[in-house]
Amino acid sequence: MSQITEIAPDFFKISTFVPEFNIQFNQFLVMDEEPLLYHTGMKGLFSTVKEVVAKLIDPTSIRWIGFSHFEADECGALKEWQRIAPNATAICSLVSKLVSVDDVVAERPARALDDGEVFITGKFRFKFLQTPHVPHAWDAGHLFEEHSGILLCSDLFHQNGDVEAVTNSDVVSRFKETLIEYQTGPFANYLPYTSKTEQMLNSLAALKPRVIAPMHGSTYVGDGEAALFGLAQVMKEVLAAPA
């Protein structure tokens, strides 16, 4: 049911397709001195994801659990993970920690990352960017791994369907199709487009990612800067257009 793909050495994608919603939920497992799981998935996915993680690493050895923002698919199973992994600590923005995570979903206090802070797990170096309301939610942020050029981009580049694990082809068009589809149903206005959206997307583009790793859909390998500029254009076109 779940697929494991090594998107860079010791950097694994775990993908589970849920046909009822026509959507993939992706977690990323970083094998390092201090192993990191990025996105827990919802509580309902916990046993599935744990089984898949166990094929790669002892699940109880997870040291860090990261996510972009407070939402079930991002951190819903945090408590379940922390109950089996005694040293697992959440990493998130200060807003996330103070406003939701510590009170609602964490078994023990999260570690807050400052905007621009570099977080090291061993051989991997993650830069944290605080990006309120990008992709959505006040507490949102992004992690960028500096050596591999991987941007963990959460709901940005969301592509519906049971798509391939990794692609070099156009993910911006697929993202646009998903946004347009959502605009016609209960998930309309999935992502906000504010006066600060473009500036924040530009700051992500300035990282010049070589790999774009969304939570929903294919991981894109290619010119991440151009892809982010394309994504910004699509968001403006679809989400900022007058109703």
Touching Fe ion, residues 10-69 (CB under 5 A): none
C-beta closer to Fe ion: residue 136 or 210: 136
Residue 104 identity:
V
Q: Does 73 bind Fe ion (CB under 5 A)?
A: yes
Among residues 46, 71, 143, 152, the one that binds Fe ion under rule CB under 5 A: 71
For residue 64, the SS3 value is strand
- Closest distance to Fe ion from the beta carbon of 217 (Å): 10
* Short-list 70, 40, 79, 193, CA closest to 140: 70
Applying the rule CB under 5 A, the residues between 133 and 162 that interact with Fe ion are 155
Piece of the chain touching Fe ion by CB under 5 A; list 76-84, 106-114, 160-168, 207-215: 207-215
Nearer to Fe ion, 31 or 90 (CB): 90
The strand pairing partners of 152, in sequence order, are 143, 213
Q: Which is nearer to Fe ion, 63 or 80 (CB)?
A: 80
Handedness of CA 29, 88, 151, 1 (dihedral sign): positive
- Cβ atoms 93, 114 nearer than 8 A: no
Closer to Fe ion by Cβ: residue 156 or 211: 156
Task: Return d(Cα 52, Cα 4) in angstroms, integer.
Answer: 8
DSSP state of 185: S
**Residues at the interface with Fe ion (CB under 5 A):** 71, 73, 155, 215
